[in-house]
Structure 1
Amino acid sequence: ALGTFAIGTEGFMIAAILPNIAADLVISVALAGSLISIFALAYALSSPILTALTGRVDRRKLLLAAMTIFSLANVVAASTHTFWGLAAARVLLACAAGMYTPNANALAGALVPPERRGRAIAIVNAGLTVAIAIGVPLGAVAGNRLGWRMTFVGVAVMSAAAVVGLLAGLPARAGAGMVTATLRERVRVLRQTRVAPTLLVTTAWAVGTYTVYSFIASFLATATPLRGPQVGYALFLWGASAGVGVIIGGNATDKLGARAVIRTSLSVLALALAGLSTVAHVLPPTIALPPVLLAMIAWGLCHWGFFPAQQTGLIQIVGLKLAPIVLSLNASFMYLGFSLGAAVGGFTLLHATVTDLGWVGAACELAAVTLFLKTRAAARAQGTPADERISPCAST
Structure 2
Amino acid sequence: MPLALYLLAMAVFAMGTSEFMLAGLLPGIASDLDVTVGTAGTLTSAFAIGMVVGAPLMAGLARDWPARSGLLGFVLVFAAAHVLGAVTADFPVLFATRVVAALANAGFLAVALTTAAELVAADRKGRALAVLLSGTTVATIAGVPAGSVLGTVFGWRATFWAVAVLCLPAAIGILKGVPAGPVRGGESHRPALRAELVRLKSPRLVLVMLLGALVNAATFASFTFLAPVVTDVAGLSGLWVSVVLVLFGLGAFVGITVAGRVSDHRPGPVVALGGPLLLLGWPALAVLADRPAALFVLVFLQGALSFVLGSTLITRVLYEATGAPTMAGSYATAAFNIGAAVGPLIAAASLDTALGDLGPFWVSGLLVVIALLVAFPFRSVIAAGRGTEVLR
Q: TM-score range by the shorter chain?
A: 0.7 to 0.9
> What CA deviation, in whole Å up to 9, does each residue of 1:135-154 have, x standing for no partner?
11111111111110111100
- Structure 2 vs 1, CA of residues 24 and 44 (structure 1 numbering), >3 Å: closer, same or farther? same
Alignment partner for residue 363 of structure 2, among 332, 341, 360? 360
1:278 aligns with 2:281: no
Q: 1:84 to 1:293 in 2, by over 3 A?
A: same
> Partners of 1:209 and 1:53 in 2: how far apart?
30
List gaps (5 residues or longer) in structure 1. Answer: 392-396
Contact 1:33 1:342 in 2 (8 A): yes
Give CA deviations for 1:53-79 in whole Å, capped at 9, x if unaligned: 221123222222111111111101111
Q: What is the 5 A alignment of 1:154-193? A: 154-173=162-181, 175=183, 179=187, 183-193=193-203
Q: CA RMSD in A?
A: 2.7
Cα distance, 1:361 vs. partner?
Answer: 1.2
- Residue of structure 1 in register with 2:242 after alignment: 232
Question: What is residue 3 of structure 2 aligned with on the other side?
Answer: none
Alignment deviations for residues 273-329 of structure 1 (CA, whole Å, 9 cap, x no partner): 11111124xxxx4xx10111121122011001103432454466x375557744531
Residue ranges of structure 2 left out of the alignment (5+ in a row): 1-8, 388-392
- TM normalised by structure 1 equals 0.86
Query: Which residue is 1:267 aligned to?
Result: 276
Q: What's 2:68 paired with?
A: 60
Q: For the Cα contact (< 8 Å) 1:315–1:323, is it kept in 2?
A: no
Contact kept? 2:286, 2:362, Cα under 8 Å: yes
2:293 aligned residue (290, 295, 311): 290
- Asked if structure 1 preserves the Cα contact closer than 8 Å seen for 2:184 and 2:326, the reply is no
SS of structure 2 residue aligned to 1:351:
coil
For the 8 Å contact 1:47–1:332, the answer to whether it is kept is yes
For 1:394, the equivalent position in structure 2 comes to none
Cα distance change on mapping 1:165 and 1:22 into 2, 3 Å? same
Q: Is 2:317–2:331's contact at 8 Å kept on the other side of the alignment?
A: no
Cα separation, 1, equivalents of 2:193 and 2:111: 15
CA distance in 1, matches of 2:300, 2:339: 21
1:19: Cα distance to partner?
A: 0.7
1:312 and 1:390 in contact (8 A); partners too:
no
- Structure 1 residue 331, shift from structure 2 partner: 2.1
| Mapped partners of 1:365, 1:270: distance in 2 | 6
Aligned equivalents of 1:207 and 1:123: distance in 2?
Answer: 22
Question: In the aligned structure 1, how far is the partner of 2:140 from the partner of 2:256?
Answer: 12
* 1:390 Cα offset (Å): 4.6
Q: Is 1:208 equivalent to 2:218 in the alignment? A: yes
Task: Give SS of 1:227's match.
Answer: coil
Q: CA distance change for structure 1 residues 182 and 343 in 2, over 3 Å: closer, same or farther? A: farther
Q: Under a length normalisation based on structure 2, what TM-score does the superposition of the two structures give?
A: 0.87
Counterpart CA distance in 2 for 1:354 and 1:300 is 19
How many pairs were matched up?
Answer: 376
Separation in 1 of the partners of 2:131 and 2:144? 19
Which residue, 237, 249, 256 being the options, matches 1:246? 256
Contact kept, 8 Å, 1:35 with 1:90, in 2: the verdict is yes
Quote the residue 1:345 is aligned against: 347
Identity %: 28
Q: Deviations over 1:76-102 (max 9, x none)?
A: 111111110100100110011111122
